Amino acid sequence: MAEAGRPLRRRAFLRLALVLGAAGAAAVAGLRLRRVEPLAGVRRWLAPRLDGAAPTGVLAADEMRTIVALGRVLIPDDETPGARATWVERYVNERTARHPGYLPEYKAAVALLDAAAAQVAPSRPRFHQLTLEQGGEVMEDLFGRRGSASRWWRRVERILPAGQRKQRCWSFVIEDLLSGFYSTPAGWAVVGYDNYPGVPGDPRAYTRPLDSQVRPN
Amino acid sequence: MAGFTHDVCIIGSGVAGALVAHELVQRGRKVLILDAGRRFDPTLRMELMERAVEGLDPWAPVDPDPEVYSSTGTDHVRLEGKRMRAVGGSTHHWGGLAYRMHASDFRLRSLYGLGEDWPVSYDELEPYYARAEAELGVSGQGGDPHASWRSGPFPNPAFPFSYAVEKVVRPACDHLGISIHPIPCARNSQPYRDRPACVAFGVCHVCPIEALYNADIHLRRGVATGNLEIRPEARVVRLAARSPRRVTSATYLQPGGGTGTVEAPIFVLAAHAIESIRLLQLSASPRFPGGLANSSGTLGRYFMEHWATGLAGEVEEPLYPHRIGFNTAHSLQFYDTPHRRRIGAMKITFSAGSPSLSELARDSGLWGVALKRYLRRVYGRWLAAIVNVEQLPRLESRVTLDPELRDAHGYAAPRVHLELGDYELRTLLRGRERLLRILRAARARIPGHQMAKFKDSERHPIAHHMGGCRMGIDPAGSVVDP
């Protein structure tokens, strides 16, 4: 029976595979026709979200020191000025006071950075006590795989519980500081725009190339 | 009129309410405007702009209340930052795009078997479009073969195309046979009436000199006549009507607490697409259980948005984007085509300012000096094309009162339910295909994550809220008559 049954099972399997394959192809075609993307839905579901019901407020002075130090690491001085403490304080205070959800994210970022700092320099267990170089090491430890790899890695990291805190710190604090700073005149100065934004100028200058473009390094 | 302090009470002081008020007070009518938002000193605009360039929300001090709403349907709609509760309304932070509807939009049912025809035609409305453009000071250029006819030129000449458009967009579109044209915008390209010309502050969402039109300009002119009174922070929560066709009073919350009531012979409801619907619904009574103007059951239905999707690519030479704060070129070539029965209207615009510097920084995955170097290397070498598409009016796309959610004053919050169908999704897909062709013709290198959009139906609502109070000649199927 076993000998006789094998070809039958194989045929049945092939028939089943054919039916399932056809059904799968039809389903995919249907999804494409309807422009439904199950993976897009999963991505949206996994994306970190702010807690809109969280209380608003401002960071304690000690916590703000850590965020100011983070700003210095994220946007250091080079040939153009980096993020100044006064800007970071004003920006972050307004963000956490006015926009529900940001205060706990900034507090969590302080905890994450301080914990990482203690590992890099046990004698200086707070992030704001580190040198600029040590601060960079902490950033590298936490987020170092982002720069090149990393669209793929970011996707994987999002679904790992251990990566969630880092992911939230990156999404709601680091990206927030970067996008805030690079909206300011100091940020635009990095690419040679010394007359934008917020300064009146030649209203037709935008029709011509920029006179003095900063050369790439 | 006898027995009334005001001839007309207008609810809402955005562009519609302000222009109606301005027309009335010029004719000697006494007008009262009730607005839920604050009034602010226009001389503060420079200060608000400085907030914007520091990366802060410039309008937070003017409109500090959080949006309370819910959103259901195929697509989530975000209202935060998309509309403004202030005297002058959302014109304080709008982009200033001043498009007319296309003549075909009024006859979609007759021409293509879609939606419904309007009870008025473009030809009837054209003189009013011209007057509105004159009031707003719209800059533009006639002669676009894909726009509808005009009885006269724009009040102001068009802004010239940006360097990016001349350098890469125009050659690419010429190659593909796509005609581009200056975007009509309510922004002064030259001094106009009592407003100055744009001098490129580059912060259009809070124009500090009012070269960009905002409705407060007409409100101030109206107040100067002595015929217009504005009550800010007066949130109307109920309208009372003695008959189905006549509102008699409005009840509003006073800023210090308590309520006030205004009676007037005529009321004009101009409180934003969603809030006007909501107020009519909040005004339900035993006589009008479905809300005012809702004997047809149509109130809130056929609500619509415009949907956008974009594609960006890297070009060889820097395009020096931004510096002016707005886009200068569009194509309406694919707006009204013979295929509109299957592919909806689309408008294509071009931007060298996307991704912006902050978007590049945020999405780079970099920080520190490495990020600065990266920005110096890549910024300004991106060209983006964006397509906006129409949404059909659908019975199930509607604004209702949320059964549970309440605003800060205890009134039912709006629930926005939007349904996109194959028509819109097909149009978005076709739009992206057109963008891809244009970017390739511009020799732009399109990175993988941009191309991935073709596998995804990525789209964004762009806060052009429309519908919900359908105009018609049959009371059984409409909310307002012509």
Residue B373: list chain A partners with CB under 8 A. Answer: 216-217
Q: Distance between CA B12 and CA B232 in Å, rounded?
A: 10
- Cβ-proximal residues to A170 (8 Å cutoff; 6+ apart), any chain: A143, A146
pLDDT at B192: 97
CA distances in angstroms from B366 to A49, A102, A132, A148, A175, listed in the order given: 22, 22, 16, 9, 10
pLDDT (0 to 100) of residue B321:
87
Distance (Å, whole) CA B32 – CA B214: 19
Q: How many CA atoms are closer than 13 Å to the CA of B49, on its beta-carbon side?
A: 23
Answer whether residue B3 shows pLDDT above 90.
no
Partners of A180 on chain B (C-beta within 8 Å) are 55, 358
Q: Do A100 and B66 touch (CB under 8 A)?
A: yes
Q: Do A182 and B202 touch (CB under 8 A)?
A: no
pLDDT (tens digit, 9 = 90+) per residue, B40-63?
Answer: 888 889 989 988 888 888 888 888
- From the CA of A129, how many Å to the nearest CA of chain B? 18
Q: What is the pLDDT of residue B451?
A: 72
Report chain A residues whose CB lies below 8 A from the CB of B425.
34-35
Identify the pLDDT of residue A18: 62
Distance CA B101, CA B86 (A): 26
End-to-end Cα spacing for chain A: 77
| Closest residue of chain A to B454, computed from CA coordinates | A35
| CA pair distance B266, B264, nearest whole angstrom | 5
Specify the DSSP class assigned to residue A171. Answer: I
Provide the 3-class DSSP secondary structure of residue A134.
helix
* pLDDT computed for residue A214 by the predictor: 42
Cβ distance B57 to A136 less than 8 Å, yes or no, reads no
Distances (CA, A) of B103 to B117, B124, B149, B358: 11, 10, 8, 39
Q: Does A143 sit within 8 Å of B367, measured CB to CB? A: yes
Percent of residues, chain B, with pLDDT higher than 90: 80
Q: Which two tokens stand for residue B151?
A: 């009885």
State how far residue A19 is from chain B, nearest Cα, in angstroms. Answer: 26
User: What does R_g of chain B's alpha carbons equal in angstroms?
Assistant: 23
**CA–CA dist B467, B75 (Å, integer):** 17
- Between A and B, how many residue pairs show a Cβ–Cβ distance under 8 A? 169
Q: What pLDDT was estimated at residue A158?
A: 65
DSSP state of B304: B
Scanning every residue of chain B, which has its alpha carbon at the shortest distance from the alpha carbon of A171? B362
Two tokens, residue A115:
């914990």
CA distance B296 to chain A (A): 32
Give the pLDDT score at B453.
62
pLDDT of the residue at A115: 94
* Preceding peptide of B155 cis, ω within 30°: no
Residues A191, A211: Cα–Cα separation, whole Å: 12
Query: What is the mean predicted confidence (pLDDT) over B104-129?
Result: 97
Q: Identify which of B357, B365, B449 has the shortest CB distance to residue A187.
A: B357
Identify the CA nearest to A113 among candidates A154, A73, A150, A75: A73
Among B165, B194, B215, which Cα is nearest to B14's? B215
Contact, A96 vs A56, CB < 8 A? Answer: yes
Higher-confidence position of B218 and A162: B218
- Tell me which of A5-14, B190-199, B226-235, B250-259 is least confident: A5-14
Q: Which residues pair with B151 in a beta bridge?
A: none
Chain B hits for A209, Cβ within 8 Å: 163, 318, 320
Question: Taking CB atoms and an 8 Å cutoff, what residues of chain B touch A98?
Answer: 57, 60, 64
Mean pLDDT of B452-480: 88
Which helix or strand (DSSP H or E) is residue A136 part of? helix A132-143
pLDDT-flagged residues of chain A (< 70): 1-46, 145-155, 157-158, 161-162, 211-217
- Residues sharing a CB contact under 8 Å with residue B17, sequence separation 6 or more, in sequence order: B10, B11, B33, B35, B89, B215, B268, B270, B271
**Number of C-alpha atoms within 13 angstroms, CB side, residue B363?**
11
Structure tokens at B292: 């005012």
Most A-contacting residue of B357, B420, B426 (CB-CB within 10 A), to test interface = B357
pLDDT tens-digit readout, B80-102: 888 899 999 999 999 999 999 99
Rounded to a whole number, what is the distance in Å from the CA of A215 to chain B's nearest CA? 7
DSSP string of A84-131, one letter each residue: -HHHHHHHHHHHHHHSTTHHHHHHHHHHHHHHHHHHH-TTS-SGGGS-
Distance from CA of B66 to the nearest CA of A (A): 9
Nearest to A206 among B66, B324, B366 (CB): B324
> What per-residue confidence (pLDDT) applies to A99?
86
**Is A78 within 8 Å of B60 when comparing Cβ atoms?**
no
Q: Are B456 and B311 in contact (CB under 8 A)?
A: no
Which residues lie below 8 Å from residue B79, measured CB to CB, with a gap of 6+?
B67, B69, B274, B416, B463
Q: Would you state the pLDDT for residue B163? A: 94
- Region B406-410: mean pLDDT is 93
Contact B60 A98 (CB under 8 A): yes
Closest partner CB to A203 (pick from B56, B197, B429): B197
For B336-347, write each residue's pLDDT tens digit: 999 999 999 999
Burial pattern B427-464, b for ≥16 Cβ within 10 A else e, equals bbebbbebbbebbebbebebeeebeebeeebbbebebb
Cβ contact A179–B54 (<8 Å): no
What mean pLDDT do residues B136-141 have? Answer: 98
d(CA B389, CA B370): 39
Cα diameter, chain B: 73
Please name the residue of chain B whose CA is at the shortest distance from the CA of residue A174: B362
Q: Is the ipTM of this complex over 0.90?
A: no
* pLDDT for A125: 82
The alpha carbon of residue A136 is apart from the nearest alpha carbon of chain B, in Å, by 8
At B398, which helix (H) or strand (E)?
Answer: strand B398-406
Chain B residues within 8 A of A185 when measuring between CB atoms:
53
Query: CB B373 to CB A216 under 8 A?
Result: yes
Task: Determine the pLDDT at residue A152.
Answer: 67
Shortest distance between the Cα of A65 and any Cα of chain B, in A, equals: 18
Taking an 8 Å cut-off on Cβ atoms, the answer to whether A180 and B358 are in contact is yes
Q: What pLDDT is stored for residue B108 in this prediction?
A: 97
pLDDT band at B324 (very low <50, low <70, confident <90, very high): confident
| Residues of A with Cβ-Cβ distance to B356 under 8 angstroms | 182-183
How confident is the model over B302-325, as a mean pLDDT? Answer: 91
Tokens of A150: 């990393």
Cβ-defined contact of B322 to A181 (cutoff 8 Å): no
